[in-house]
Chains A and B, each alone.
Chain A
Amino acid sequence: RKEVEQDPGPFNVPEGATVAFNCTYSNSASQSFFWYRQDCRKEPKLLMSVYSSGNEDGRFTAQLNRASQYISLLIRDSKLSDSATYLCVVSRYSTLTFGKGTMLLVSP
């Protein structure tokens, strides 16, 4: 089983749609969890940390289920500018393990 697994997509959605990405991780000792966004040929940028109680940042909601080793990201009211690859990232003792990413394409 890969350490961090994501559906590569692409997810093609119209503007205004709600889209959800899932991610599973294999190491039950993982300590922290993040979603990063990566635009084509650019560096990853931190989108949000993921907390056990779930957390929201504007149109973005992240959830963590430690028992199932599962992380999710929900994007509401998709914008064209949300088109990017979303990386699920798991941390243990400050070394990060990256998923390969899920590509999102938002169309007019």
Chain B
Amino acid sequence: DGGITQSPKYLFRKEGQNVTLSCEQNLNHDAMYWYRQDPGQGLRLIYYSQIVNDFQKGDIAEGYSVSREKKESFPLTVTSAQKNPTAFYLCASSAWTEINQPQHFGDGTRLSIL
């Protein structure tokens, strides 16, 4: 069954702690993306990656880090520097071979502060 899998579904972070959100896709998509959504707000781009071992900052990258060691995987680390991490985090992917392909989303991770 092809798709994008995010885990965990819910995550709680303690003060000063780094946490990592997982995103895996088996769609053979080149590009992967991380977004954050706050209540009543649009999605905001955190980081994106078009190829393995390369990624770019989005609009709100501060306090986050990513890696892209494998095509299928694009984990997001929310560091202790991110002072307001409570949000709905969404991972997406798209075929990069043609520009402007629509993105397809995982079912998200809800992060809260303990």
Chain A residues close to B by CB (< 8 Å): 4, 8, 31-32, 34, 41-46, 49, 87, 91-96, 98-101
Among A44, A92, A93, contact of B90 (Cβ-Cβ < 8 Å): A44
Question: B: which residues have CB within 8 A of A?
Answer: 31, 33, 40-43, 45, 48, 50, 58, 88, 90, 94, 96, 99-108
B102 touching A46 by the CB < 8 A rule? yes
How many Å lie between the Cα of A100 and that of B43 in the bound state? 7
CB-contact partner of A4 in B42, B96, B99, under 8 A: B42
A100: B residues at CB distance < 8 A: 40-42
> Cα distance A34–B104 when bound, in Å?
12
Determine whether the beta carbon of A34 is less than 8 Å from that of B99: no
A94 and B96 in contact (CB under 8 A), knowing A43-B105, A46-B102, A99-B42?
Answer: yes
B31 touches A98 (CB 8 A): no
B42 touches A101 (CB 8 A): yes
Can you show 9 pairs from A to B with CB atoms below 8 A apart? A4-B42, A43-B90, A46-B103, A46-B104, A91-B100, A94-B31, A94-B50, A94-B94, A98-B42
Known A43-B108, A94-B96, A95-B48; judge A34-B90 contact (CB<8 A). Answer: no
Which of the residues A8, A31, A45, A46 comes within 8 Å of B100, measured between beta carbons?
A31
Instruction: Check if B100 sits within 8 Å of A42, measured CB to CB.
Output: no
Inter-chain contact A94/B42, CB cutoff 8 Å: no
